Chain A
Amino acid sequence: MATTARKSVLVVTRHAHQGSALGRSALDAALVSATFELPVTLLFQGQGVLQLLPEQDCTEAGIRNLRKVIESLPLYDITPIYVDAAAAARYALQAELLPPQAQLISLDRQRQLLADHDHILGF
């Protein structure tokens, strides 16, 4: 890999973990980027905030509960994670239900994140 400064990456995840595998793919891309020491930021928007619901039993649906993966993100230096406050409100996700490292942010702050990163991956 080039010796130039590491490019920063914003991973935007917009899909719930039920119905498609995109949420999982977004987390995989974030984790691998962090493993290769790229500075990674994760932003949950729209239905993507449903990945953050606590105590979900996904075994009957045959899918993975992503919340546990999300809670492990600080181990990879992906912290904090950012959550669109309006989407969280729409799905009645109160701040106390979110993972400890989650921060609810406004649309203006999200615009700032989009502008501040070298690359944006939109899932």
Chain B
Amino acid sequence: MIYVIDHEDSFTYNLVHLFENFGQTYVSNYFNIDKKKLDACKIIVFSPGPGEPSHYPETQKIYYQYRGLKKIIGICLGYQQILYAEKGQIIPQKKIYHGYQSRIKVLRESLIFKPNKILIGGRYHSLKLKEPFSSKTLKITMRCVETNVAMAIEDTINSVYGFQFHPDSFLTVDGKFLIQKILQA
């Protein structure tokens, strides 16, 4: 089972429909977690949402509790939540991307996607990862072609993955493929 933690976003159910292509998916609000189901699930997804990672201590706790034990996938805010838990700083960016379609490049560090491949992704974020960022296991694996802002992370050892952009958006080309690759990894 896939457990999607919803941070009261208006894009969460687009993501849920994507994941439902690959297995039974359960959704709950971040403040209303079904602990039994969370324990039973194989994959935890942190949804997009408003605000910044520090607004959601509940999700931080879940990350620390299950990191390395289950596959964890973060989208947008969820991606930032993973980085924040890994001591990354999330900061405002000068140019804000809401409803943007961007070209995104896969880096050599990716073990899942083909390096140098260009993806088209829909973006909805005010904040970004402050760099330089370093982690022993978590690698930045995609960047915006135009601004170089970090767009995806992979930690194949602990099975943690994330996208700053939205595979669930209609602006993203073949978001289903992106999710499939992560689930197969």
Asked if A and B bind, the verdict is: no
